[in-house]
Chain A
Amino acid sequence: MTQSDAARRQAIEGLYRDAGQFVFRRCLRMLRNNEEAMDVTQWCFVRAWESGFEPRSLEQSLAWLYRTAGRRCLTLLRDEGNRRRIRREHATELRRGWSPSHEGRVIERELLLRALQNADEAAAEVAMLHYFQGLSMKRVVEVTGMSTATAYRAKSRYSELLRRIASSEPPDMRAIRS
């Protein structure tokens, strides 16, 4: 291990202590699963180490980490096995306490996930950061490095896809509950 490796390692470990919880917040919002969010958070920092990422400032590091976390969560959410698990978890919640507002939230998330499955990469990335991570569009632009116009066009494509899915294929709540 060279001197610079040792310094970079220390910097990434320090970053984990300072900013790990912020990355975890985003991951949990996206995945809604504590263990997976912990895993992805750890994975992001291991990835930073393995990929040669050099933390220069918290602003630069957080943006990199949020983007990396977003892409990782996107991969997880697009996986059919994970989607089935999310549906199963919804089913448990639904059996516990049924309410129309709850159904609304479940349908909303199901639609968001289905659109994510079919969106192009740019639209999916923007949607992931904006709708799932809860970042403002200004922050999405900063994280992705896209121009403002490109980011908004990607968001529009995702919204259009969402509208099409919502109008043509309303999600079957019986399927979600079963």
Chain B
Amino acid sequence: MNRSKGFVPLSSDAPDEVDAELYRAGAIKDDADRRRINQALSGPLAKSEAELSDIDKLWADAPPLQLQSGKVLRLHKRPEYRLRSLITLTAAAAALAAFLGAWMYAAPQQQTPSIRSMGQMAVDLVVEREGKNINFTEAGFKEGDRLSINITAPRPGYGTLATLQEDGQIFILARSDEHRPLYTDQGLSPSGLVELDGYSGREWLIFVLDPEYSSAGDVEYRIRSYLPDPSTSRRPDVWVFDLSRR
């Protein structure tokens, strides 16, 4: 928790750089204070103002702020499963055994692909449509599909899982912490199910594994550079999966 209450403009002493910044941003309301700061800008603060105005020129090239948005992809909490008793556990195991048995004997068109391989990386992708898991390789993706995604890192590094639209919009779904890189075979997944919206252009699921930590802005910049078609990328540290709707 931040104990700081914030800056106190012009408490008692002469105006400083922070006062000048508050003044420029229109946060100083008192006329007398504004006059004092204005005078200081051409007096004691003139030198630092000159230095700072040089810095401000560089800021003219600043990129727009890219905040992760929930507009297109909505995260839903995973349902919580609690095994309350041994009976429940046994029942679940029996159901699983029955399911596996049925799955093994099922015709190929009834299978629901969940684990795919992209290069040497395992992607655990389950797609749910209208409450049922679907075979997305045949049925493709549609608005409203809910995706459960888990990526297994093939080697240690800092992972970023994101979607990229062909219009350049990026949504970071999961990122490894700066102080906790992924180790080999460790999974990375979003905090919930990802629901696809009705975006009509092309869209890709992208996983980037960096040996060194990069800022979110840096990674987004790189991911965007894979356009117009990231699936043609042959970079060893980038995996791409087409999520375009049909």
Flag if B55 contacts A24 (CB, 8 Å): yes
Flag if A42 contacts B65 (CB, 8 Å): yes
Residue of B3, B4, B70, B178 touching A5 (CB-CB under 8 A)? B70
Residue of B16, B58, B61 touching A136 (CB-CB under 8 A)? B16
Q: Is the interface of B mostly helix, strand, loop or mixed?
A: loop
Contacts of B4 in A (CB 8 A): 60, 63-64, 67, 142-145
Contacts of A62 in B (CB 8 A): 6-7, 18, 21-22
A–B pairs, 10, beta carbons within 8 Å: A5-B70, A25-B55, A39-B215, A61-B6, A63-B7, A64-B2, A64-B4, A142-B6, A145-B3, A145-B4
Query: Is B11 interfacial (CB-CB < 8 Å)?
Result: yes
For the complex, count residues of A whose C-beta is within 8 A of B.
Answer: 46
Query: Is A156 interfacial (CB-CB < 8 Å)?
Result: no
CA distance A177 to B48 in the complex (A): 29
Flag if A20 contacts B62 (CB, 8 Å): yes
Contacts of A145 in B (CB 8 A): 2-5
CA distance A16 to B66 in the complex (A): 10
Query: Is B105 interfacial (CB-CB < 8 Å)?
Result: no
Contacts of A135 in B (CB 8 A): 17-18
Flag if B58 contacts A19 (CB, 8 Å): no
Flag if A58 contacts B70 (CB, 8 Å): no
Cβ of B49 to closest chain A Cβ, rounded Å = 11
Q: Which chain A residues in 61-87 approach chain B with CB under 8 Å?
A: 61-64, 67, 75, 81
Cβ of A26 to closest chain B Cβ, rounded Å = 9
Which residue, of B4, B56, B215, has the highest number of chain A Cβ atoms within 10 A? Answer: B4
Per CB-CB distance, the 3 closest pairs between chain A and chain B, nearest first, are: A145-B3, A60-B6, A145-B4
Q: Is the interface of A mostly helix, strand, loop or mixed?
A: helix
Contacts of A67 in B (CB 8 A): 2, 4
CA distance A144 to B1 in the complex (A): 11
Contacts of A40 in B (CB 8 A): 215
Flag if A42 contacts B217 (CB, 8 Å): yes
Flag if B7 contacts A28 (CB, 8 Å): no
Cβ of A78 to closest chain B Cβ, rounded Å = 13
Query: Is A164 interfacial (CB-CB < 8 Å)?
Result: no
Known contacts A25-B55, A60-B5, then 7 further A-B pairs from the complex at CB < 8 Å, ordered by chain A residue: A24-B55, A38-B62, A42-B66, A60-B4, A62-B18, A135-B17, A142-B7
